[in-house]
Amino acid sequence: MAKVVCVLYDDPVDGYPKSYARDDLPKIDKYPDGQTLPSPKAIDFAPGSMLGSVSGELGLRKYLESNGHTLVVTSSKDGPDSVLERELADAEVVISQPFFPAYLTAERIAKAPKLKLALTAGIGSDHVDLQAAMERNITVAEVTYCNSISVAEHVVMTTLALVRNYIPSYQWVMKGGWNIADCVARSYDVEGMHVGTVAAGRIGVAVLRRLKPFGTHLHYTDRHRLPEAVEKELGLTFHATREDMYRVCDVVTLNCPLHPETEHMINDQTLKFFKRGAYLVNTARGKLCDRDAIARALESGQLAGYGGDVWFPQPAPQDHPWRTMPHHGMTPHISGTSLSAQTRYAAGTREILECYFEGRPIRNEYLIVQGGALAGVGAHSYSKGNATGGSEEAAKFKKV
């Protein structure tokens, strides 16, 4: 029987929820491209409940223990004395979330001789050293599409919050003020702006579809060009290079995976291609951006705002400059872990585990690495190599 180690974020500071704001979730039958939702044989949780924190256990304990497996759930993931580090020696499966990643570096993989499956409860497996996983013949899988629309909604929300200067305006209300001039001094309309996405996969296209009714001019760049019918439907302008797109956009949103070809693609040099006063929204991965270059661009005015839901490492150390830089709209990685999304990625995690333990094929769209090579969606979206370097800095995070 297998040991399954599951790394999840901590429960709410006031304790695991005893009730919820809503009684149910809207029913979603399929994803926009027709892909079916996760289809495990059963689930042992109530849809809409908190599944992504430690006490939620992704709803897996009953299923795993009834089949003779051992489940270890922890939020202790960083540093040599962490529970994750201690449990790696005989772990066969490690489950993690992008929001609170268990960084499976080459060093950690070397300490886990029995590891066969690295499973992401969500989308994005860059917290695993994919090169090391290929060399060790470890399968890497994720629940593709489970929270793509959740993230796209967050991108639209962040774009509007930055452009309309919502966060400082809200703060004036909280301070008891009525400072209209202060609020509107950095407030503009999105209508008529040029908005571009780096990558037009499921999330990127969903963002463009949601912004079209705002009267925006839409742009994209991607190594895989969209069908002509989609370009015409949304009125899209394709750019062969990212730099060409940056030059014309008022808002740029990053919706690409992190791998060696995209690591730090936003830096001091590439930011020079941006229009002065552009907004940058990043719900993809923090390491797509050079940390200090973003802070400098906000301080100089090259960027008018940065809305980031992702950091590197995660959790971010208390002294991370993105916590204190001007004109930001940072959130701790929450865009893809709404209670709605948790229901889908917990079910998808169960589906992948059922396939793995029963010797059935894992859906091709869930695969990142298999058989010593990039596979499935991984072959489409990632490149060989490793992007986990520097993740040990997460050990500097201190709970407040």
State the catalytic residue, choosing from 328, 333, 344, 350: 333
Nearest-angstrom CA–CA distance, 387 and 353: 26
The residues, any chain, with a CB within 8 Å of residue 238's CB and separated by 6 or more, are 219, 220, 221, 225, 226, 231
Residue pair 319/295 in contact (Cβ under 8 Å)? The answer is no
Q: Cα-Cα-Cα-Cα dihedral of 121, 125, 131, 135, to 10°?
A: 10
Closest CA to 388 of 94, 85, 126: 126
User: 97 catalytic, yes or no?
Assistant: no
Q: b/e string for 91-121 if b means 16 or more Cβ within 10 A?
A: bbbbbbbbbbbbbbbeebbeebeebebbbbb
State the catalytic residue, choosing from 147, 255, 302, 342: 147
A 10 A CB-CB count for 33 gives: 10
State the catalytic residue, choosing from 314, 320, 328, 350: 314
User: 333 catalytic, yes or no?
Assistant: yes
Phi/psi of residue 351, each to 5°?
-60, -45
Amino acid at the residue 144: T
CA distances from 204 to 19, 233, 242, 284 (A): 34, 15, 14, 10
- Residue 11 CB-density burial (10 A; 0-12 exposed, 13-18 middle, 19+ buried): middle
Strand, helix or coil for residue 67? coil
User: 386 catalytic, yes or no?
Assistant: no
The residues, any chain, with a CB within 8 Å of residue 377's CB and separated by 6 or more, are 142, 144, 364, 365, 366, 367, 368
Phi/psi of residue 354, each to 5°?
-60, -45
Nearest-angstrom CA–CA distance, 286 and 295: 13
Instruction: Classify strands 367-370 and 194-198 as parallel, antiparallel or unpaired.
Output: unpaired
State the catalytic residue, choosing from 202, 285, 320, 350: 285
User: 342 catalytic, yes or no?
Assistant: no
Catalytic residues: 147, 285, 314, 333
